Structure 1
Amino acid sequence: MDEATLVKKLRWRCRRGMRELDQLFERYLEREWPTAPAADREVFLFLLDCEDDKLWRWFMGYEACPHAHAVPMLDRIRVLKA
């Protein structure tokens, strides 16, 4: 699959039904994805597979993410400016 098609599919997957999560994921997709190494891309895809309520608690710091490999990505996405 070419990169443009992949990004379109990912943009759809970034639509979570919770505007705040939508914005967090879309910021990463627009700003970081194009130059992200394969390992970071895998973690981002992992996060897209997680449940919204868990993601929200992890991003807001209400609950620690039990997946150590995802914590740096959560932190990076959290600090991206609007």
Structure 2
Amino acid sequence: MFTAKRLARLKWACRRGMLELDVLFLPFVEQAFDELSDGEKMTFERLLTCDDPDLFAWFMGHQKCHDPDLASMVQRVLSRVKV
């Protein structure tokens, strides 16, 4: 279960060192995070523990994420924030 404190930590973790990642993560958490199942929320939380260079490569399509759960979450975030 995501308490208010845990959600606040998650939002803080969305603030990355790269603007390209910030503009993906923050809107996703604010607009779509509540729609995720508990398992998906945990996967998103795990995604945020990955290194910025890996995240950047996955989200920009330069590399493929080999973890199927994380790769699915990358696609979910991308599909949600793309106009």
CA RMSD of aligned residues (A): 1.8
Separation in 1 of the partners of 2:82 and 2:3? 24
**C-alpha separation between the residues in 2 aligned to 1:32 and 1:71?**
17
Runs of 4+ aligned structure 1 residues displaced above 3 Å come to none
- The equivalent of 2:40 in structure 1 is 40
- Please report how far the alpha carbon of residue 76 of structure 1 lies from its aligned counterpart in structure 2 after TM superposition: 1.2
In structure 1, the residue matched to 2:55 is 55
Q: Map 1:1-82; keep pairs closer than 5 Å.
A: 3-79=3-79, 80-81=81-82
Structure 2 unaligned runs (5+)? none
- Could you tell me which amino acid in structure 2 is paired with residue 47 of structure 1? L
- In 2, the alpha carbon distance for the partners of 1:8 and 1:72 equals 24
Q: Quote the Cα distance in structure 2 between the aligned partners of 1:28 and 1:49.
A: 16
TM-score relative to the length of structure 1: 0.87
Deviation digits for residues 5-26 of structure 1, max 9, x if unmatched?
Answer: 2222111111111111011111
Q: Distance in 1 between matches of 2:35 and 2:75?
A: 18
Unaligned 5+ segments in structure 1 are: none
